[in-house]
């Protein structure tokens, strides 16, 4: 396997504190969870989704086991919306919500008690569907703020699995800062989100969608060593398969290795060209399944509809074996 850029100074995955570990096990039922950064996308009608109807979340959860809940980064949903999400998904489905931007970027994790109470009060009607919560920290949250992170972790509600995405360059380039952050997260049973945005920086830089996507996606080294048993990968794909597929293949080998070691990873696949994201996620699942026993993903509702109506779906140019399993 061609190695990923792994500068982690940490050793093997450490043990979580018992309370949080039990909660994570309850909220991560699959050996491998995979999904996309959203579910409401009209670009997927006629492929992932049926051409008619608006029940996107229900159709999404027929295929994928998790979704990256970016909506909560910008605002909390209404109670009525949360109830509609509960009704649309099975209990085994997992929402991996992001903490609100107002807490992670504006307040920089300070005075978190009230916002966290409101956050979980609003989402708790989802029951076990609330999986790991992600705290995506801004690029200016550096080593000098690890004290704020520690106080936040101390006050973090018991039994709530947490993963933190660090974006300050020092947490990747400076071994001492990286180790301090990893040790702090591990000691509180929190994961460190792994972000791989290299594909959008290495492929055709003139692609209009890629040029827009690069700005918010930092080109940082990859620390591909889990801190606990439930690593989270956020993979940002280039729309050109020749650029993306080699990196997906290397990640598939890493993910299969973790599964073989008893870890239970989650992967989310993004793409600047939205219509390609589901196919790339399915390809990742295929690549992992080729290395370790996994059940096949269900057929897409849109593909089932197409076969029933003898329709021909447009090819994305990825392969001839588009159907998983």
pLDDT bucket at 5, cuts 50 / 70 / 90: very low
Q: 53: closest CA among 37, 80, 62?
A: 62
The pTM score is: 0.86
pLDDT at 48 over 70: yes
Q: 71: closest CA among 50, 59, 56?
A: 56
Higher pLDDT, 307 or 16: 307
pLDDT at 297 over 70: yes
pLDDT bucket at 14, cuts 50 / 70 / 90: very low
Share the mean pLDDT of the chain: 87
Q: Residue 214: what pLDDT? A: 62
In the chain, the N- to C-terminal Cα span, in Å, equals 24
**H-type helices in 64-141, by residue range?**
71-74, 79-88, 101, 113-123
Q: What percent of the chain has pLDDT over 90?
A: 74
Q: Residue 274: what pLDDT? A: 92
Strand partners, 33: 266
pLDDT at 185 over 90: yes
Query: Residues 223, 194: contact at Cβ < 8 Å?
Result: yes
Average pLDDT over residues 79-108: 98
In this structure, what DSSP letter does residue 110 have?
Answer: -
Higher pLDDT, 136 or 309: 136
Q: Residue 325: what pLDDT? A: 34
Q: Give residue-wise pLDDT tens across range 204-261.
A: 666 777 767 666 677 889 999 999 999 999 999 998 999 999 999 999 999 999 999 9
pLDDT at 82 over 50: yes
Q: What is the DSSP string of 173-197?
A: H-HHHHHHHHHHHHHTT-EE-EEE-
Q: What percent of the chain has pLDDT over 70?
A: 83
Calpha distance 43→48 (Å, rounded): 9
Q: Residue 53: what pLDDT? A: 81
3-state helix, strand, coil in the chain (%, to 5): 45, 15, 45
Q: Residue 77: what pLDDT? A: 97
Q: Residue 213: what pLDDT? A: 67
pLDDT at 146 over 70: yes
pLDDT at 316 over 70: no
């Amino acid at each position: 396997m061609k190695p990923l850029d792994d500068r982690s100074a940490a050793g093997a995955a450490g043990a979580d504190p018992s309370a949080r570990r039990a909660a994570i096990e309850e909220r991560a039922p699959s050996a491998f969870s995979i999904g996309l950064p959203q579910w409401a996308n009209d670009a997927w009608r006629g492929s992932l989704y049926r051409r008619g109807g608006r029940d996107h979340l229900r159709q999404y959860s027929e295929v994928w086991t998790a979704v990256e809940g970016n909506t909560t980064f910008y605002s909390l949903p209404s109670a009525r919306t949360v109830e509609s999400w509960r009704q649309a998904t099975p209990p085994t489905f997992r929402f991996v919500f992001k903490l609100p931007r107002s807490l992670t970027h504006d307040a920089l994790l300070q005075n978190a008690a009230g916002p966290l109470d409101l956050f979980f009060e609003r989402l708790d009607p989802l029951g076990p569907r609330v999986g790991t919560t992600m705290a995506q920290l801004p690029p200016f949250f550096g080593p000098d703020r690890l004290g704020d992170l520690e106080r936040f972790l101390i006050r973090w509600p018991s039994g709530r699995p947490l993963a933190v995405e660090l974006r300050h360059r020092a947490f990747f380039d400076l071994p001492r800062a990286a180790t301090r952050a990893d040790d702090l997260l591990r000691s509180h049973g929190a994961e460190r989100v792994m972000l791989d945005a290299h594909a959008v920086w290495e492929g055709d830089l003139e692609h209009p969608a890629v040029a827009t996507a690069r700005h918010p996606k930092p080109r940082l080294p990859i620390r591909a060593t889990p801190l606990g048993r439930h690593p989270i990968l956020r993979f940002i794909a280039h729309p050109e398969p020749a650029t993306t597929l080699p990196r997906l293949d290397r990640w598939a080998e890493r993910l299969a290795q973790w599964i073989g070691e008893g870890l239970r990873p989650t992967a989310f696949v993004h793409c600047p060209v939205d219509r390609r994201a589901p196919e790339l996620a399915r390809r990742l699942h295929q690549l992992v399944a080729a290395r370790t026993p996994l059940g096949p993903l269900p057929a897409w509702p849109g593909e089932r509809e197409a076969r029933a109506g003898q329709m021909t779906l447009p090819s994305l140019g990825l392969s001839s074996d588009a159907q998983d399993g």
